[in-house]
Structure 1
């Protein structure tokens, strides 16, 4: 246990201060990209793409997972994830004439060589490239046909927080403009305020459960699966915890066999039917003796990990904001520095 007399205050870290800015960052992003989002929505409605390909790594790829579920459920267009090594290692390219393809590239820095190589191949094949990027001077921003600037501002902590949330918000805004869905449009407009509310929620019960943990599962489903992936990554990065993310459906296909008495599980449940699957899996884990921390938007603020009820598309964004506050505090409680994880740097230039 960390000696309370020498413990670093959670609010003193870069991770805390940057994550706390997420609501303001989303407000800036939405205001700055009104024209670009409107034009892109009109383009996509007039000429819907046959397929969407996402290109990203790390936290940005987890945002792409969220985008996949949102695009497919709201527009019906299939979404696939590009493997950057296909271009950077194997020097292979998609078939030319892919005019009916939309490529969405997501990056904080916009400078990773393999991501740039992949985007270049899709653009050469005829795809319309949309870049969600924080660094507007980056090569990715210059390559894009449509630039959605994330406007998260400087992010010095190695652990990406506000830029990840800005990417989730940008994806939800793209789909709102594309689909013309009024309920989603209204929900996206409330994000800055709701993120402030989510940041104020305390997940102390989850932090206590994980203080001495070594391994755990993080589960979600549908729109919530991407944040389960992100939470697992952040627990590895900032808390030196071996966390694995699973869909609440896939976790029953083998991984459940290692869950025994006392095994920790974090579950993210949206208020829709996908959340029902998460709640069922969480209950099954608890019946096996697992220690389960359930963030349940359906409970609207109840439980040890209170989550806000909203439109199901933005509930995951609100939950990951609350999670970041918990992860920062947990890292410090475990005697670690969330701003400077061992062996990691801010920009990863994968070849």
Structure 2
């Protein structure tokens, strides 16, 4: 059996705290200049373009930008530009492309179309010399360093941190800025959090839901992808508000849910859902404050926009261990490559 602590996924995810610390320092001037520009000339809307883990970071961005900056944010399907040749983004808007490699042809085509239509362009990339970066008016490098495991981990956390850093600077959110200053140490603590109950509970599972809401929904999407990608476990992500619209029909005795909770306005509704599922006999793994009948996974108290970042860091270590437990190599998922060049 593979040693779970010898995988590239384990090693790269463990670097996240150092990546975030390095990124914050390296991007500070660029973020401050971009934030000042956005205050002087607020965009009439923000359009994101990404796939996979990067698109899950875009979901996080949507909730932060809409709740903190109060700017409508939507996701553009990359095929709109690359296949259909359309450009739904125009002058006065901000187009945000997120890509670890910065060379996925459809993401590049979308940012090019947005730029040609007069939109301001921003790229979050790990490869600063990439084609996507070359198209952007502003580039925020992720500074994650080489990431060779197929499963993105530290680059995803770096994207979340960059989005939060921009939001704090743009809106003058001092509480979020303080939380981000403490994020590297908090990530180091999150890496050591005991999430072994997740491994024990899901070792033989065949299907499950991952539940989040608000700023935590993009993290739920990411966790569901990693379950499929690294563990061979079919997982679907749902908002706590949407799971009752049909998917709840599958929830019964023994059906597992991973619920990601942050201490904000969504907490009461998430807690109510957890209690309902426990009453139905479902198995709930709860990342957040404990609830009777649910299996507790610890997440440190923190700013609600930061708590999901801490949760995914703890999750990555547990997912890596679960993959090995289920007989998979998390670094080499079947039928997948590190860079997916979709046209």
Out of 114, 117, 137, the position equivalent to 1:125 is 117
- Which deviations, in whole Å up to 9, do the C-alpha atoms of 1:307-333 show, x marking residues without a partner? 111000100000000000000000000
Among 255, 267, 282, the residue aligned to 1:275: 267
Name the SS of the counterpart of 1:194 in structure 2: helix
d(CA) in 1 for partners of 2:257, 2:139: 38
For residues 67 and 42 of structure 1, the distance between their equivalents in structure 2, rounded to whole angstroms, comes to 18
- Residue pair 2:78, 2:106 contacting (<8 A) in 1 also: yes
CA distance in 2, matches of 1:260, 1:51: 41
Shift of 1:273: 1.9
Q: Any gaps of 5 or more consecutive residues in structure 2?
A: none
Shift of 1:343: 0.2
For residue 142 of structure 1, report the CA deviation from its aligned partner.
Answer: 1.1
The 2-side partners of 1:283 and 1:201 are apart by 24
Partner of 1:93: 87
Q: How far apart in 1 are the matches of 2:212 and 2:230? A: 20
Partner of 2:14: 20
What is the DSSP-based 3-state SS (H/G/I as helix, E as strand, rest coil) of the residue aligned with 2:266? helix
- For residues 160 and 327 of structure 1, the distance between their equivalents in structure 2, rounded to whole angstroms, comes to 12
Alignment partner, residue 222 of structure 1:
214
Aligned length: 341
What is the Cα deviation at residue 251 of structure 1? Answer: 0.2
Q: What is the distance in 2 between the residues matched to 1:116 and 1:298?
A: 44
Shift of the alpha carbon at 1:303? 5.8
Q: Distance in 2 between matches of 1:125 and 1:283?
A: 49
Superposition deviation, residue 297 in structure 1? 5.1
Q: Which residue of 2 aligns with 1:41?
A: 35
Specify whether residues 190 and 298 from structure 1 end up closer, same or farther in structure 2 by C-alpha distance, changes over 3 A only. farther
Scaled by the length of structure 2, the TM-score of the pair is: 0.97
Q: Which residue of 1 aligns with 2:195?
A: 203
8 Å contact 2:95–2:114 — kept in the other structure? yes
- Note the C-alpha offset of 1:23: 0.3
Tell me by how many angstroms 1:141 deviates: 1.1
| Alignment partners' CA distance in 1, 2:6 and 2:194 | 17
Shift of 1:9: 2.2
> Cα distance, 1:298 vs. partner?
7.6
- List structure 1 segments (4+ residues) > 3 angstroms apart after TM superposition: none
Q: Is the 8 A contact 1:271 1:298 kept in 2?
A: no
Partner of 2:257: 265
Residue 3 of structure 1 is matched in structure 2 by none
1:132–1:167 CA contact under 8 A, matched in 2: yes
